[in-house]
Every structure is written in structure tokens, then in C-alpha cells.
Amino acid sequence: MRAMIFAAGLGTRLRPITDALPKALVPIKGHPLLEIAILRLKAAGCRDIIVNIHHFGQQIIDFLQRNDHFGINIQVSDERDLLLDTGGGLKKAAWFLRDEPFLLTNADAITNLDLHKFYQTHLKNDALATLAVRQRESSRYFLFNPTGQLCGWRNEKTGETRLSRAEDNLQHLCFSGIHAISPRIFDFFPEDQSVFSIIDTYLSTSATERILAYPHDEDIWMDVGKIPQLEQAEGVLEQVLPKV
């Protein structure tokens, strides 16, 4: 099993911590976010991981080397010259991910979601992508039909709605930043763009392709994008870290 970790974010909401540290290396009880993500992927069966870098990227390279790449094959996708957004970042890492379905996760998604079960469900459904989602309050939502097929996206702040399928009874669900993806996704990326959001690709392909919801409301999940959330995450870390 292969995976990619998005670790290139600027972490502006975590300043002043991220004035001297990449967001992916911000610690929770001494465990950097990137370490938590790697250990969880490794426990799920991943032995090949690629990590994108941008803000203080050399610190991430040094961190991986100090930890002997956690005993698995970890490669770096270097975006220090230009931050490529989610779709562009994945496109740049295509050389590493083209051969089989893979997992994709944000470094700052703190959760005890069973990644192995999530991946196996994706394989069973033969979807182009499977998205971990929850019922929670947010400013942006994916819109799914009753069978779990992605049909659109909505921004509650601006009122913008983008529909790929005209269906009724759409459920508003929040994305958890964790994907399982078929390598066929690379066939749908724009050839003439290097910076773009993967959300745009999901919306454009969901008219004809299976982009499916994976609800996991029973799991712990936290987005540690702000300092108070980091402090809250300390209380659930033991349940999130895999048992050695």
C-alpha cells in the first residue's frame, strides 16, 4: 500500500509556532503531526509514502533522516519553489503513486479512523475516489446523494453551489482530509496546469465517475489548525497513536 501526506502547508493560523517550524512538525505531547500521520499509515500497512514539502521544507527532510524514515520507504516531493495546491501537489507525485490505489491524508488530520478498513472499502467499491466525511458544522460541504455518490459542493459563507449531478435529497457532509484514490485520477488532471485544487477534479469527474462518501462519525477527528485545537488534541492522542 502506498500513500501521500500533504505536509506543505504554511500553517498561518498556528503562528507564532510556525514562524520557525513547518506546520507538519508542530508537536502534540512531543509527537510531531507528521510523525503521527506516518505511524498511523505504517500501522495500516503502508510501506511506501511520499511527503510534499514547502514551508521550512529542509526541516522536514532532516526530521525524516533523523528518524531513519521510520523504517519504511519515504520520499519527498519538493514544492519549495512553488506551492502547488492539492491537485497540483498530487500531480507532481504521480510518478510515485501511479501503480496502485493509494491513500492521501493531510498531516494535520488527527483521527483514529481505521485506515486499513477505509482502504479496503475503497477497493471493494471500485471507486475513482473515496472521501472520509463527517456530519459537523463548517463553512464548506460536499453534497452527496442517498447512495453516497458525490453530486456537488457548497460554500455556506458565499452561497456558492457547484453541482455535478442534478439530484434531490442531497446530504451536506464535511470532508475530513483523508482520501483513498485510484491511480486513474491522474488521467483527469489538467495537462496545462501545475497549480490546482483536487476538489475541482472531484467535482468535474463526479458527473460520470464514482466519487463516494465514507462516513466516520463514530471516530475521533480533529483539525489542529489553531493553537486551542492543538491543546485539545493532547487529550485524544493516546487513542490516535497506533499501539506498538
- At 14 the pLDDT is 85
Give me the pLDDT at residue 137, please: 86
Residue type, 190: P
**Domain count along the chain:** 1
Q: Does residue 134 belong to any structural domain of this protein?
A: yes
- For residue 137, what is the domain's CATH number? 3.90.550.10
Residue 243 lies in a domain: no
DSSP 149: B
pLDDT attached to residue 138: 86
Q: Per residue of the chain (244 residues), give pLDDT as tens.
A: 999 999 998 888 888 889 999 999 999 999 999 999 999 999 999 999 999 999 999 999 999 999 999 999 999 999 999 999 999 999 999 999 999 999 999 999 999 999 999 999 999 999 999 999 999 988 899 999 999 999 999 999 998 999 999 888 899 999 999 999 999 999 999 999 999 999 999 999 999 999 999 999 999 999 887 888 888 999 999 999 987 5
Cell of 80: 519549495
Residue 137 lies in a domain: yes
Q: Where are the beta strands (DSSP E) in the chain?
A: 2-6, 27-28, 31-32, 48-53, 73-78, 102-106, 109-111, 129-134, 140-144, 150-155, 161-163, 171-181, 211-215, 221-223
- Look at residue 16 and tell me if it is in a domain: yes
What residues form DSSP beta bridges with 51? 5, 76
Q: Write down the pLDDT at residue 188.
A: 98
Q: 134-141 contacts: CB < 8 A, separation 24 or more?
A: 134/173, 134/174, 134/176, 134/215, 134/216, 134/217, 134/221, 135/173, 135/174, 135/215, 135/217, 136/174, 137/174, 138/174, 140/174, 140/175, 141/172, 141/173, 141/174
Q: Please indicate, yes or no, if residue 232 is contained in any of the structural domains.
A: yes
User: Is the residue at 242 inside a domain?
Assistant: no
Assigned domain for 48 exists: yes
Residue 244 domain flag: no
Rounded Cα gap, residues 65 and 110, in angstroms: 23
* Domain that includes residue 176, residue range: 2-236
